[in-house]
Amino acid sequence: MKVTFPYMGTTVVYKKLLEMLGHDVILPPKPTRKTIDIGVKYSPEFACFPLKVIMGSYFEAIQKGAEVIVTSGGNGPCRAGFYERVHQRILESEGHDIDFIVFDSMFRDPQTFYRNIERLRDGTPWHKVLKSLLLIYDMIGKLDHLEKEVQRIRAYEKNRGETTRIWEAIQKDFDQAYTSHTMKSAFKKGKEKLQSIPVKHVDKEDCIKIGIVGEIYVVMEDSINMKMEQLLNSLGAEVERSQYLSQWVTYNMLPKWINWTHEKAVLKKGEPYIPILIGGHAKQSVGQIVDYGQRDFDGVVHLMPFGCLPELVSQSIVPKISEDYNIPVLTISLDEQTGIANNQTRVEAFLDLVRGKRKQRLNKEEKMVGKKPESYCTSG
């Protein structure tokens, strides 16, 4: 089967899994202005932004020969559950008879989940499927581990752009790895490469940590969020995202009674502000801001797609959490009209505020303890 999927984050993972199941993978191009324009042209005007970008991405993959689209579904009061139907209808109306395989939680509808696996494995023996799944799960964890390092080190790199170049090379190395042994050596090599990056020495007052929260697609896909992680890093801030693929997979794989994942803990932290699930990742966003507040992060950037109802709700609660946990939050709405220069200026101004606040706090601590707090941050 000529298979494609929505482009989101470290696509090497989805590509490899489908390849290992014996498919001819049509890699969708990384979303660009052209992708967005195509998506906007064919999508309903008031659809949420990710639907439009993914729509454009599908058209581009179909042009490259894709016949089947593998994607995830959604449930609850959010449009994600309708994405596949809307996308399929639009594609049909443009003359593309494309098949969809939609994965939802295996606990919600085990039969459909099993049927989807059956379709996807397409005769591949079960032991091979299991081996591939375990290998990919291991790969996701390793890549996330390295990406977290990237998001920290890049804030202090001496040579602008070096960490990003190395991170891209690391992903290529993983793309070539098909066994647990080669995966292990790609990980080891990646770690060594990252540790060898020359970094600046930064005083504790000047090193800040920013969390990024919001709807999963705009948080994970940098081509549509103004490369937010790189932008924050280039302004000297360490970054952590609210979503990593390994966390998402683990949370969705485990039954409730043994689900002690980070995601579960974050949902609990969001409970006092949003007691019920309102769709998307609104409750996680809120819980994650609480988590960052408790872990002494200096600020949070909240990303929301224009037209996203769950994130609109979380946005309305953000000022209260920001006050309760004394943590500044900057909300940025993203869509096809987003002005990059304007938002970059907002981010720069936000970081100035965050730095000022941090200095004040450290001065206060110094006065109380009578000595300078630990002198340096993680830049070493």
Which residues would be at the binding site for ligand SF4 (CB under 6 A)? 48, 50, 78-80, 215, 279-280, 305, 308-311
Amino acid letter, 343: N
- State the Cα–Cα distance between residues 290 and 293, nearest whole angstrom: 5
> Whose Cβ is closer to ligand SF4: residue 105's or residue 234's?
105
Beta carbon of residue 317, minimum distance to ligand SF4 (angstroms, whole number): 16
Nearest CB to ligand SF4, comparing residues 140 and 303: 303
CB-based contact 41:65 (threshold 8 Å): no
Per the structure block, which two tokens stand in for 36?
A: 């967005």
The separation between the first and the last C-alpha atoms of the chain, rounded to the nearest angstrom, is 49
Question: What is the distance between the alpha carbons of residues 79 and 320, in angstroms, rounded to a whole number?
Answer: 26
Closest distance between ligand SF4 and the C-beta of residue 86, in Å?
Answer: 11
**For the chain, what is the largest distance between any 2 Cα atoms, rounded to a whole number of angstroms?**
73
Name beta bridge partners: 334: 305
Least Cβ distance, residue 258 to ligand SF4 (angstroms): 27
CA 156 and chain centroid, separation: 22
Q: Give the shortest CB-338-to-ligand SF4 separation in angstroms.
A: 14
Secondary structure (DSSP) of 146-195: HHHHHHHHGGGBSSTTHHHHHHHHHHHHHHT--SHHHHHHHHHHHHHHHH
Q: Which is nearer to ligand SF4, 50 or 211 (CB)?
A: 50
Nearer to ligand SF4, 238 or 311 (CB): 311
- Residue linked to tokens 């696996």: 117
Residue nearer to ligand SF4 on the CB measure, 5 or 156: 5
Closest to ligand SF4 by CB, 147 or 215: 215
Residue nearest to ligand SF4 (CB): 280
Q: Considering beta carbons, is residue 211 or 310 the nearer one to ligand SF4?
A: 310
Any residues with CB less than 8 A from the CB of 84 and at least 6 apart, and which? 71, 73, 100, 102
220 residue type, one letter: M
Beta strands in the chain (DSSP E): 2-4, 24-25, 68-72, 99-103, 208-214, 237-241, 299-305, 329-334
* Cα 258 off chain centre by: 24
The one-letter amino acid code at 26 reads: I
Cβ atoms 354, 328 nearer than 8 A:
yes
| CB of 117 or CB of 312, closer to ligand SF4 | 312
The residue (of 44 and 380) whose beta carbon lies closer to ligand SF4 is 44
Q: How many CB atoms lie within 10 A of CB 72?
A: 17
Cβ–Cβ < 8 Å for 231, 144: no
- Rank residues 6 and 50 by Cβ distance to ligand SF4 and give the closer one: 50
Nearest to 274 by CA among 326, 305, 311: 311
How are strands ordered across the β-sheet holding 237-241? 237-241, 208-214, 299-305, 329-334
